[in-house]
Amino acid sequence: MFKNFLGNKANTALTIEQRKSECMREAVPSHIAIIMDGNGRWAKKRALPRVAGHREGMKTVKKITRCASEIGVKALTVYAFSTENWKRPKDEVDFLMRLPVDFLDTFLPELIERNVRVETIGDSSVLPLHTQKALTEAMETTKHNTGLVLNFALNYGSRDEMVKAMKAIMMRVAEGELTAEQVDEDCITAHLMTAHLPEPDLLIRTSGEVRLSNFMLWQLAYTELWFTDMLWPDFNEAAFLDAVMSYQKRNRRYGGLKGEETK
């Protein structure tokens, strides 16, 4: 009866701790990807500058990182800056580029304590030097950690990633290391920036937009998608755990079906 109740939307009655233990009763998604949308709208609703929304959004990243590491998620990829975001006003971009520095100044000790490894995907080489320095330091300091991989997508675009993979494969073919015949799905997967990560089991997008916006297009082929109207700064542990429970419920519904049949 408890279980039926939990399978329904009525789990608003559950505390965070109850939700966590409920999630941990079955397979927790290995890799969760998140499109963190709605910071600007959150600020606008409060007549605050957009950057106030980004700052609040950074707090949500910390909360969700903690929660994901506690329930045993192996990888959490968060879309922090897209290749499109350069089109925003310079002041806003400058502010965003200080967030990694700020985040690590205030959170690196906890990441270490939690055994979290920081990684990035996307082309970081064109980010300001102070941003790159913070990233390098975070990745270096945490590279031996064996817990959650906290993977920031920064200056990331999925099509750009595929173009780079395609070029790398063509170079290897040109050098005779690989034949065109050998190029298959696994080969392409291995040349993406996520090569070392499992495919995302669950994608969360906040703020009511229902699209992928050039995020992990190849990797999301079989991923469960979960959309919410909540704005990213309002997103919290309860909503995150509800998304995980909803994923587990969908998985359960497939019964014994595995592999091709669920694809």
Catalytic center residues: 37, 85
Provide the pairing of β-strand 117-121 with 149-156: parallel
DSSP state, 24? Answer: T
In whole angstroms, how close is the CB of 16 to ligand V0D at the nearest point? Answer: 21
Stretch of 57-65, 109-117, 160-168, 208-216 contacting ligand V0D, by CB under 6 A: 57-65
Name residues contacting ligand V0D, limited to 113-142 (CB under 6 A): 118, 135, 138
Would you state the structure tokens that stand for residue 235, as one six-digit string? 């997103």
259 labelled binding-site residue: no
CB of 240 to ligand V0D, least distance (A): 14
Helices 237-253 & 16-23, crossing angle to 10 degrees? 30
CB-CB contact of 151 with 76 (8 Å): yes
**Residue 263 near residue 222, CB atoms below 8 Å:** yes
Binding positions for ligand V0D, 191-230, rule CB under 6 A: none
Strands 224-227, 202-205: pairing kind? parallel
Give min distance, CB of 185 to ligand V0D, in A.
30
124 within 8 A of 135, measured Cβ to Cβ:
yes
Known binding site for substrate: residues?
A: 38-42, 50, 54, 82-84, 86, 88, 205, 211-213
Interface contacts to ligand V0D, rule CB under 6 A: 36, 39, 54, 57-58, 61, 80-81, 96-97, 99-100, 103-104, 118, 135, 138, 152, 154, 232
